[in-house]
Structure 1
């Protein structure tokens, strides 16, 4: 089962609409719709919120290889950005 299917199942098991879940997670209803349909994926921070809200592990949410790959790419991008900032500061000090 992919992430979108799991999210939809968790939401429905609580009797929530997409709008109600969006409000609980501080995201738009459109974001929930995209995540459930597989047309988009949540950020790492949103995954943490979803995990906490439904009391499930992130591992349980992330069974699909595609989502794991996207999360790794986001993490690598964040690391590169931090390194660029640090090297920029070092260059300014010289």
Structure 2
């Protein structure tokens, strides 16, 4: 893909740092870095903001990439609901392992000594494997971004694309995530209070 080079070129022409560009398109500096290094591809909204920031047409910004996107879409086939659920499960597992990596080294070492350290190393290895699987699955969702970009270049409006992307998202899911995050924070706090109280 050529977009990474294009972003870097236009950013340098305007003497913008990655941080400054990130502020203008409402993403993180790391996201800009990932785009420039072809680790991920921006969604349609970000592409529109980039083209406005650089004062170039969207066609000029993504020149050459649309045909490559069509080839990738053709090779990948559709992203199914099962793929999305698998990605969500893997992301959740990765989050759990990441949390375990953060909170278990002291208790494992304290209560189980060398065996605890071995268990923690196993948790780190499993977390690394989960990170690999999540990254592998993420590539399928780059294909989803490609589909949206191709649709946009073929004349569909952003509202049509966003409507299709939002299908399946419900208010109760957001509430469940918020309650789940709060409960997890409470459990971690209680665990540390218990460990420190011993």
Work out whether residues 18 and 33 of structure 1, in 8 Å CA contact, stay in contact via their aligned partners in 2: yes
Aligned to 1:89: none
Deviations 1:54-91 (A, max 9, x none): 11111111122345654442457953755x79xxxxxx
Max Rg structure: 2
Tell me which residue corresponds to 1:15. 15
Distance 1:55 1:67, change over 3 A: farther
Against the structure 1 CA distance between its residues 67 and 52, is the aligned structure 2 distance closer, same or farther, given a 3 Å change threshold? farther
Runs of 4+ in 1 over 2 A off after TM superposition: 65-82
Distance 1:41 1:80 in 2: 16
Higher relative contact order (CA 8 A, sep 6+): 1
Q: 1:34 to 1:45 in 2, by over 3 A?
A: same
Which structure shows the higher helix fraction? Answer: 2
Structure 1, 65-74 or 31-40: larger mean CA deviation: 65-74
Match of 1:41 in 2: 41
Please give the alpha-carbon distance, in whole angstroms, between the structure 1 residues aligned to 2:4 and 2:61.
9
Give the equivalent residue in structure 2 for 1:51.
51
State TM-score, norm by structure 2: 0.37
Tell me what 2:147 maps to: 73
Counterpart secondary structure, 2:40 = coil
In structure 2, relative to structure 1, the CA distance for the partners of 1:45 and 1:33 (3 Å cut) is same
CA distance in structure 2 between the partners assigned to 1:49 and 1:80 by the alignment: 19
Please report the RMSD computed on the Cα atoms of aligned residues, expressed in angstroms.
Answer: 2.7
Q: By how many angstroms is 1:24 displaced? A: 1.4
